[in-house]
Amino acid sequence: MAELKYISGFGNECASEDPRCLGALPEGQNNPQVCPYNLYAEQLSGSAFTCPRSSNKRSWLYRILPSVSHKPFESIDQGHVSHNWDEMEPDPNQLRWKPFEIPKASQKKVDFVGGLHTLCGAGDIKANHGLAVHMFLCNTSMGNRCFYNSDGDFLIVPQKGTLLIYTEFGKMLVEPNEICVLQRGMRFSIDVFEETRGYVLEVYGVHFELPDLGPIGANGLANPRDFLIPVAWFEDRHVPGGYTVVNKYQGKLFAAKQDVSPFNVVAWHGNYTPYKYNLENFMVINAVAFDHADPSIFTVLTAKSLRPGVAIADFVIFPPRWGVADKTFRPPYYHRNCMSEFTGLIKGRYEAKQGGFLPGGGSLHSAMTPHGPDADCFEKASKSKLVPERIADGTMAFMFESSLSLAVTKWGLKIANCMDENYHKCWEPLKSHFTPNSRNPAAP
């Protein structure tokens, strides 16, 4: 496959046309009476028309047939996609999942949509407020099938296997240690090349943004230029027997048939697009004198709530970096948080829990549930010599953090059969080191 091309920048006003049809973009207007190449003009709105310019999102697509050219939608098997946050009793315990099992292609063909499994979430999908965390576990490409989400944006984190994603805006190749965002309403189809696994953060009613940098300044964390947007590509393909369009609407799955591929957009312009990002490009900020800084300094993207500084969801990573803080317990501190924290592991070994927390698994520490380093990590970090050291080389852990209290689905607690029932035992060996008669403990 030829190397794919991209446009650089986050949230930019972009324009692209397939080089096979130069001049496909209308000049000076959006919807002329007759478009170049006799294409149809179609607007995709990601915000209300009257949103301020700074948050107004829309793109114009110039396509061979409009997306309305389909037969009626009908309800289909829901699989393990859910938005029922009340099907299980609340569980405030620390939860950890072993790696989720990928179905064997030799036993059953499962594509991205069929392999979507809702793990936890919160909020009201009809009120456009909330989020969901899903796993995708698949082994085959979507073929003549595409998907779009009427409920929210998908932030996809592949953990095993490369994704070739066809969108109405062009193609993206997304590998482990990269992420992509497919925003609300965008049709896409995913090809896979092996048994494939990953994580999805879905947010309702808001879009992901770059976090404000405050006193950090103009540069740092995820820099805008490192986000990549696909360039226009189309196929004029009739599909005998019909192409299937799967839609998630109000948390339910529906399907409609149409005669042609939906990836028939010859040109487009706008600021509402899919995009991808390589996590290796993250510019890490860290403490260089003392103390362990809060993990918010590792925020890649945020989906803001109406309360200043409070997110519906943050996407945070724990990338390779230097640890140099002096007189400091360097691993993550013990913590009780008003936020909910779902953590996953793309590769390597997470610094605060060297055993048990494995790539393709996850953990959930709910609001105000205590958590922190296991006993082994505490003992080693409390006694180690504080010299400059590399942290997390060969590792990439991440966190979906939310101000909402996440409920775990029946699939997550029971059906997946991946719960680590011994998770709590990693803290049982913690012992008291209290020295009531000596304020100054011996230095390591």
**Residues known to be catalytic:** 292, 335, 341, 365, 371
Q: Which residues does residue 343 pair with via DSSP β-bridges, in sequence order?
A: 363, 399
Cα distances from 155 to residues 31, 108, 290, 350, 408, in angstroms, run 31, 26, 34, 22, 19
Residue of 95, 205, 76, 82 lying closest to 134 (CA atoms): 82
Residue of 341, 311, 336, 321 lying closest to 396 (CA atoms): 321
The answer to whether residues 277 and 178 touch, using CB atoms and an 8 Å cutoff, is yes
Q: Is 62 exposed, middle or buried (0-12, 13-18, 19+ CB in 10 A)?
A: buried
d(C-alpha 295, C-alpha 332), whole Å: 8
Residue of 377, 361, 366, 373 lying closest to 418 (CA atoms): 361
The answer to whether residues 365 and 341 touch, using CB atoms and an 8 Å cutoff, is yes
What six digits make up the tokens of 359? 């790539």
327-333-339-343 Cα dihedral, nearest 10 degrees:
120
Which residues does 367 contact at the CB level (< 8 Å), separation at least 6?
A: 337, 338, 339, 340, 405
